[in-house]
């Protein structure tokens, strides 16, 4: 962050909803990242990796986790060793298929999630509950409608 001005920057491409969306997502990610870094010594991206993995049952293989994270299997394959080394993920062989690598979180990662999830949740609600003039539920529904609309257009 060394040299980034993080306040609203002059929007050179006008007042477009796409620009606003990017800015908001960046903002939220940066916030979550900072919180996780300070309190738990991990990045948002690492947190998501473990949180998504933890929610998958039975233990997924690399391809399945990649799909759920929305990235390529090569991306997951490359990251696994560092997670194993950090003690957050354990790999296991699939007795039924010698090619597959099954992934599980470790108990340590489970404890970390049990701590971090409520912290994130609390900071999220604290941030949003006194937002007046905006109905968050409606906003969320609108966003989902837009997505459904895009899906229906087969982009």
Partner DNA sequence: GAAATTTGGTCAACCTGTTGACATTCAAGG
Partner DNA sequence: CCTTGAATGTCAACAGGTTGACCAAATTTC
Return residues touching a second copy (CB under 8 A).
2-5, 7-10, 12-13, 15, 17-18, 20-28, 31, 34, 51-52, 55-56, 63, 66-68, 70-73, 124, 127-128, 131, 133-134, 136, 139-140, 142-147, 149-151, 153, 155
Compute the least distance from the CB of residue 1 to DNA, in Å.
Answer: 3
Footprint of DNA on residues 46-105 (CB under 7 A)?
A: 46, 61-63, 69-80, 82, 96-102
The yes or no reply on residue 33 touching DNA (CB under 7 A) is no
**How many Cα atoms sit within 13 Å of 76 on the Cβ side?**
24
The one of DNA, a second copy, none whose footprint includes residue 145, by CB under 5 to 8 A per kind, is a second copy
Residues 6+ apart with CB under 8 A from 4: none
State which residue, 108 or 147, has the beta carbon closest to a second copy. Answer: 147
Structure tokens at 72: 């390529």
Residue 101: how many CB atoms within 10 A of its CB?
18
State which residue, 89 or 101, has the beta carbon closest to DNA. Answer: 101
The one of DNA, a second copy, none whose footprint includes residue 13, by CB under 5 to 8 A per kind, is a second copy
Residues 6+ apart with CB under 8 A from 81: none
State which residue, 63 or 123, has the beta carbon closest to DNA. Answer: 63
Structure tokens at 53: 């993995």
Judge contact between 86 and 79, C-beta under 8 A. no
49 class by beta-carbon count within 10 Å (0-12 exposed, 13-18 middle, 19+ buried): buried
Partners of 104 in beta bridges? 90
Residues at the interface with DNA (CB under 7 A):
1-4, 43, 45-46, 61-63, 69-80, 82, 96-102
């Amino acid at each position: 962050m060394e040299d980034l001005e993080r306040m609203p920057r002059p929007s050179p491409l006008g007042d477009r909803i796409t620009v606003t969306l990017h800015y908001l997502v960046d903002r939220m990610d940066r916030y979550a990242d900072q919180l996780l870094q300070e309190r738990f010594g991990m990045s948002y991206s690492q947190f998501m990796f473990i949180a998504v993995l933890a929610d998958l049952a039975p233990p997924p293989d690399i391809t399945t986790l990649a799909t759920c994270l929305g990235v390529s299997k090569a991306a997951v394959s490359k990251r696994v060793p560092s997670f194993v080394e950090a003690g957050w993920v354990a790999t296991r062989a699939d007795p039924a298929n010698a090619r597959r690598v099954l992934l599980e979180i470790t108990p340590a990662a489970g404890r970390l999630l049990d701590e971090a999830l409520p912290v994130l949740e609390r900071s999220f609600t604290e941030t949003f509950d006194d937002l007046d003039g905006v109905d968050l539920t409606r906003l969320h529904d609108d966003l989902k409608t837009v997505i459904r609309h895009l899906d229906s257009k087969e982009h």
